[in-house]
Amino acid sequence: MESVCVTGAGGYVASWVVKELLAKGYIVHGTVRDPDDEKKNGHLKKLEHANERLHLFKADLLDYVGVCTAIDGCTGVIHVAMPVPAGKVTSPQAEMLEPAITGTRNVMNACLKSKVNKVVVVSSIAAIFGNPSWPKDRPMDENCWSDAEFFMKTEKWYCVGKLISEREALEFGKKNNLNVVTVCPSIVFGPMLQSTLCTTNIILLNLFKGKNSFNLLEFDKAEEDIHIPIVDVRDCAKALLLVYEKPESEGRYLCSSHVLKTKALIEMLKNLFPNYNYPTDPCGLNEELNYTCEKIMKLGWSHRSLEETLVDSVENMKEAGLLS
């Protein structure tokens, strides 16, 4: 029976990856900071087949030995772990860059040591879209790389961490003959398996309370009518497994299913759930967002409707007592 290691297993996207892997018959090694922390990781132990095939390992990504222990014996690795800022970053080097870059280096070296067959690294659409020099009439795709200096000047440290760690992972793979594939998801919405709120669902929850807080994802101004690229967390998890399982997958994959402006998203939420106090209309912004996910679609990926994602997100928040 094949074993796959998932880093940051208790997180929002990673939890769904673990669920999908267990459902498909894999043995799963999950790295978490504290396997006995029921608040953060108890939901994993309740997943179907978790008793038989889920093994949680205490491993901080900055602890190379711990990472090696978790990956040992695995055929593949899906590297998801990455901190997301929930406010102003006071120490970018310590809070964002070191965990992202050093952590990814540790994972890559551990994979090489354990001779795994394939590594899937979760990057971000941020590693693609931050390129001011990209031709406006050309859709952005996997060939587009964000500009690290541009992000550093605007203090987008999460974006910098994702960008540098993805580049390094792909270069490490080529240099060491390790099969490394990266996936760059857009903003992830959808139901949570864990009990603690993730950043994107904080943003969605805030919209029902009259607050536009997309700046938590390092957008320049939350009040502007910006384009919001969205993917459902369940579709994102399936994309990661698809890329892992398909022998022909290679390089980078942009993974996003819907894009609409903030104003359009708020109007859609109003129509679906009229009894909430939404933000006032954001001010207009003419900048367009033009991209294509043709590469991952050709691999066989499909996605659900945005309405389904939003409805399921809200029902999940109500069940959790976060929304009346």
Active site residues: 162
Do residues 306 and 264 touch, judged by C-beta distance below 8 A? no
**Could you report how far apart the first and last alpha carbons of the chain are, in Å?**
44
Classify residue 59 by burial, with Cβ atoms within 10 Å: 0-12, 13-18, 19+.
buried
- In whole angstroms, what is the distance from residue 162 CA to residue 121 CA? 10
Cβ of 149: how many Cβ atoms within 10 Å?
Answer: 10
Helix or strand run (H / E) with residue 186: none
Do residues 131 and 160 touch, judged by C-beta distance below 8 A? no
Which of 138, 239, 136 has its CA nearest to residue 186? 239
Do residues 219 and 226 touch, judged by C-beta distance below 8 A? yes
| Strand duo 227-232 + 258-261: pairing | antiparallel
Which of 299, 12, 220, 256 has its CA nearest to residue 124? 256
* Contacts of 305 by beta carbon, 8 Å cutoff, 6+ apart: none
The half-sphere exposure of 140 on its side-chain side, counting CA atoms within 13 A, is: 24
